Structure 1
Amino acid sequence: MELRLRTATWEDYDAVNTIIREGQEEHAEALPDRFAKLDHVVAMGWYRSFSDREDKEIIVAEIGQEVVGVAMLEMKQSPNYEALVPRKYAYLNELAVASVHQRQGIGKRLYQAAAEWARAREAESLELNVWEFNERALLFYASLGMLTLNRTLTTNLVK
């Protein structure tokens, strides 16, 4: 069947949540001190905040009538701080593909659609965060030409 990308609707909430929850569970297993295991990872209020806004978008990938992937993105501005050059960029909050549909080019298509959405809004860049343990995601984004911009370092102070 053919893959189709479209803007998400209210009816896609449960499917989107299920797909993102898979990634959340991977994160909770890798970093249980940082990530909780939840039934509803995507709060309904947050999901709703993406509807009917020019500066936010949820793109779903579907095969037939099944939602198999999702990208959630929004436009942002650099902080108003004189040491930073003012800039407008798109932030990819989530990019996830159902585990049974991974490695079929769906993530790449979602990423490309997110980049097109950002370009149409004159974003200077597309940015996202990836946790260091997530080697598959790091390799995936590197294969798309993304580069590391910065790193967050930590020291555990509790034994």
Structure 2
Amino acid sequence: MIRLAGIRDIKGINRLLLQVQKVHSDIRPDLFKDGGKKYNDYELEEIIKNSETPIFVYEFDNMIVGYVFCIITNHHNETSFCNHKTIYVDDLCVDEKTRHEGIGTALYEYVLEYAKSIGCYNLTLNVWEGNDSAMDFYKGRDMKIQKVCMEKIL
């Protein structure tokens, strides 16, 4: 079942945040600390309370086995960009024990429908270079590259 996250889901979300951190710290140990996580409990509570940052969770047998963090933005720029509403997928994770069972696809499609229902023009997200499984997942859902972020390590 996919539903909006509540405060009671923080423990399950934290367990998955650690898995995401491991993927990132394995790819980029120069940027991501092994064993860390993106948000603390207070930050998670604030995100959950904010209607502009919905978190949807996939619950199975009373356990959170997937989530998707979203950020809704309204672009109002008089000079260079067209006005539109965007939903940004800040993070999508499926428990490593339940991957390849359609949970990621279900979460992604749920967010697409949600975005359409609130009048979004597009869905955007970022994938770290080296996270080939995530890149393949999103390309398999007909996502296209919008822009490329580059770096030079000094």
TM-score, scaled to structure 1: 0.89
Task: Specify which of 54, 57, 78 is matched with residue 75 of structure 2.
Answer: 78
Task: Specify which of 26, 30, 37 is matched with residue 29 of structure 1.
Answer: 26
Is contact 1:17–1:41 with CA below 8 Å preserved after alignment? Answer: no
Is contact 1:74–1:93 with CA below 8 Å preserved after alignment? Answer: yes
Task: Specify which of 38, 45, 49 is matched with residue 46 of structure 2.
Answer: 49
C-alpha distance in 1 between matches for 2:41 and 2:8 = 12
Is contact 2:21–2:36 with CA below 8 Å preserved after alignment? Answer: no
Q: 1:52 to 1:156 in 2, by over 3 A?
A: closer
Structure 2 residue aligned with 1:87:
84
Instruction: Return the offset for 1:46.
Output: 2.8
Aligned length: 154
Instruction: Return the offset for 1:27.
Output: 0.7
C-alpha distance in 2 between matches for 1:15 and 1:42 = 13
C-alpha distance in 2 between matches for 1:119 and 1:54 = 16
C-alpha distance in 2 between matches for 1:138 and 1:88 = 24
Structure 2 residue aligned with 1:96:
93
What are the ranges of 5 or more consecutive residues in structure 1 without an aligned counterpart? none
User: Per the alignment, in what secondary structure is the counterpart of residue 25 of structure 2?
Assistant: helix
Q: What percent of counterpart residues are identical?
A: 25
- Provide Cα deviations, 1:69-93, integer angstroms capped at 9, x if missing partner: 0011121123636222222100111
TM-score, scaled to structure 2: 0.92
Task: Specify which of 17, 22, 25 is matched with residue 14 of structure 2.
Answer: 17
User: Per the alignment, in what secondary structure is the counterpart of residue 54 of structure 2?
Assistant: strand
Which runs of structure 2 are paired with 1:105-124 in the superposition (5 Å)? 105-124=102-121
Range moving further from structure 2, 79-88 or 137-146:
79-88
Q: Which amino acid in the other structure matches residue 112 of structure 2?
A: A
Task: Specify which of 149, 152, 155 is matched with residue 149 of structure 2.
Answer: 152
What are the ranges of 5 or more consecutive residues in structure 2 without an aligned counterpart? none
